[in-house]
Amino acid sequence: MKKNNFLIIGGTGKTGRKVVESLELLNQNVRIGSRSSQPAFDWNNEDTWEDALEGVDKMYITYQPDLAVPGAKQSIENLIVLAQQKNLKKVVLLSGKGEREAELCEQVVISSGLNYTIVRASWFNQNFSESFFLEPIQQGFVALPQADVQVPYVDTGDIADVVVETLLHEEHDGQIYQLTGPTTLSFKEAVAEIAKATQRDIAFTPITIEEYVAAMKEHGVPADFVWLVEYLFTEVLGNPMVSEISNDIEKVLKRKPKSFVEYVRETKKTGIWESTAQNA
């Protein structure tokens, strides 16, 4: 396989670190794009971008914290201009399923003239083990709005495998892939699966978005994160598209995506979901 120089922006994140691992196993030249890397890549400091892109052939873009946030589109526009100047061969963008703002960022990439693949992912399985659902699960009490919305949670391992395929093979150029798990679950059903696997009593209580926002503010959650969570729970979970199941993972990888039950079975072994009292 021909070697390329890859820049993985967010290469220490949920999907990025798995993309890095897979490309390195294939003996590709991989540069991690993060604030702590050398050269550094910092979304909030455009002066870091040029060195990070120097000599790069192909790039995977994950935007932190989300493409929906104010300023994301401008940042993507500026990065794509630089990618054009550096004559990159390919750009893969991680986007969000059912996010209007994310789709505006997609259009920047699509209209750039660069080879591209758009990877639109559903909500991650790993939100329950590596993100903001983890602590409530450990504490044994989960209270969330939009309790009955059915979501086809997708595994970050499957996303990373699709990204690697699209970075390596030209047949995926110009494609938009929607990545979902094979079935949908509500928050209540997802928490119940974790409770069953861990043999713990984890209570689930439906609440309003207003109550959820108030609770986040009360716990000192930063305002920009509160805004993002409110957006995700209203605009994204309020979009009927969020429940649609796609077969794009199977189309790209020639295998079925990991189910939520399989994810729970694997994650249970790490002990991450044991109660905070047991972890202390």
70, part of any domain: yes
46, part of any domain: yes
Tokens of 183: 């079935």
Cβ atoms 268, 198 nearer than 8 A = yes
224, part of any domain: no
The band of 279, judged by pLDDT with boundaries at 50, 70 and 90, is low
Mean pLDDT value of segment 229-233: 93
pLDDT recorded at residue 280: 47
Do strands 203-206 and 58-61 pair parallel, antiparallel, or not at all (unpaired)?
A: unpaired
Mean pLDDT value of segment 106-128: 98
Read off the amino acid at residue 60.
Y
Mean pLDDT value of segment 160-171: 98
Neighbours of 253 (CB within 10 A): 14
128, part of any domain: no
pLDDT recorded at residue 2: 74
pLDDT recorded at residue 190: 98
**Cα gap 189→193, rounded to integer Å:** 6
pTM of the full structure: 0.96
∠ at Cα 24 (22, 27), nearest 5°? 120
The band of 98, judged by pLDDT with boundaries at 50, 70 and 90, is confident
239, part of any domain: no
**Cα gap 242→276, rounded to integer Å:** 32
Mean pLDDT value of segment 100-128: 97
Residue 93 has pLDDT above 70, yes or no: yes
User: E-assigned strands of 51-99?
Assistant: 58-61, 90-96
More confident: 86 or 276: 86
**Cα gap 217→203, rounded to integer Å:** 22
Mean pLDDT value of segment 85-93: 98
Sign of CA dihedral 231, 232, 237, 239: positive
Residue 127 has pLDDT above 50, yes or no: yes
16, part of any domain: yes
Read off the amino acid at residue 264.
V
Residue 277 has pLDDT above 70, yes or no: no
**Mean model confidence pLDDT for the chain:** 95
Mean pLDDT value of segment 195-202: 97
CATH code at position 68 = 3.40.50.720
* Residue 67 structural domain: 5-122+154-180+244-257
How many Cα atoms within 13 Å fall on the side-chain side of residue 211?
8
87, part of any domain: yes
Task: Tally the residues of the chain.
Answer: 280
Tokens of 194: 């974790």
- When divided into structural domains, the chain yields a total of 1
Distances in Å between the Cα of 278 and the Cα atoms of 139, 140, 192, 236 are 10, 12, 20, 35
Residue 278 has pLDDT above 80, yes or no: no
The band of 83, judged by pLDDT with boundaries at 50, 70 and 90, is very high
Mean pLDDT value of segment 224-239: 92
Neighbours of 279 (CB within 10 A): 10
Q: What is the pLDDT of residues 11-64, one digit of tens each?
A: 999 999 999 999 999 999 999 999 999 999 999 999 999 999 999 999 999 999
101, part of any domain: yes
